[in-house]
Amino acid sequence: MVARGRFITFEGGEGAGKSTQITRLAARLSSLGLNVRTTREPGGSPGAEIVRHVVLSGAASALGADTEAMLFAAARVDHVDSVIRPAIEAGEWVLCDRFTDSTRVYQGASGVSPALIGALERLALQDLAIDLTIIVDVPAEIGLARAAARRGDGVTDRFEGDSLEIQQRRRRGFLEIAAAEPDRCVVVDGTLDVDGVEAAIWAAVEGRFAETGALAQRPV
């Protein structure tokens, strides 16, 4: 039988540096002989990528926050069913840039009720469980400055353009989730240099999985 893979999600505000760290963790896990898949939300599957374009372009914002949340949920159903669940069942380690916590924080900050968010989450995940969530935490001011530098002359997406107050509220939301679910979530200081953040993330991964043997070196 193929051993079940693992599911690690990365969360944080704009400009937290999640994408860089996912790439680094994927390389480190791959060096151990593990099969690793990286993905993202919104998106990650052909159907979900269509929804990603609609949402991040701002085209759906006129429909209201509840409808936007439903669009995210529809994308997640396709992503989970066609990519995430099959990969984990095949023994792969799946690293996802944003997942359910981003919906709780971003749509929750937009006024979507926790009841609706919870119902949509249960619909999309069914029995899927997250093994570890890494929350890369940076002050909102720093994150926005990083996002602007990364974007350059590009167009601000649907969420980067929100006010500093909203970005600060989102940061608090992620930290509140981490405090409420310490068995799943680990907060990493995203203001460290890139190598320092990587080291903190690896310490969290080792702490979670080393004793189970899941990180044992495999032939490559």
For 51-76, the pLDDT digits (tens) are 888 877 777 777 788 988 898 899 99
pLDDT at 220 over 60: no
State how far the Cα of 45 lies from the Cα of 24, in Å rounded to an integer.
22
Interstrand relation of 185-189 and 36-40 (parallel, antiparallel or unpaired): unpaired
For residue 59, the number of C-alpha atoms closer than 13 Å in the C-beta half-sphere is: 8
Quick check: bond before 114 cis, omega within 30? no
| CATH superfamily to which 7-210 belongs | P-loop containing nucleotide triphosphate hydrolases (3.40.50.300)
The residue assigned the tokens 């995210």 is: 72
pLDDT at 94 over 80: yes
When pLDDT is averaged across residues 81-97 and rounded to a whole number, the result is 96
Tell me the residue type at 124: A
Tell me the residue type at 25: L
Q: Which carries the bigger pLDDT value, residue 149 or residue 126? A: 126
pLDDT at 186 over 60: yes
List binding-site positions.
12-19
Tell me the residue type at 186: V
Per-domain residue ranges of the chain = 7-210
Number of residues assigned to the chain: 220
State how far the Cα of 66 lies from the Cα of 47, in Å rounded to an integer.
20
Confidence (pLDDT) at 85: 97
Confidence (pLDDT) at 187: 98
For residue 187, the number of C-alpha atoms closer than 13 Å in the C-beta half-sphere is: 18
List binding-site positions for ATP.
12-19
155 to each of 53, 57, 150, 202, how far by Cα in Å?
A: 13, 9, 11, 33
State how far the Cα of 188 lies from the Cα of 212, in Å rounded to an integer.
22
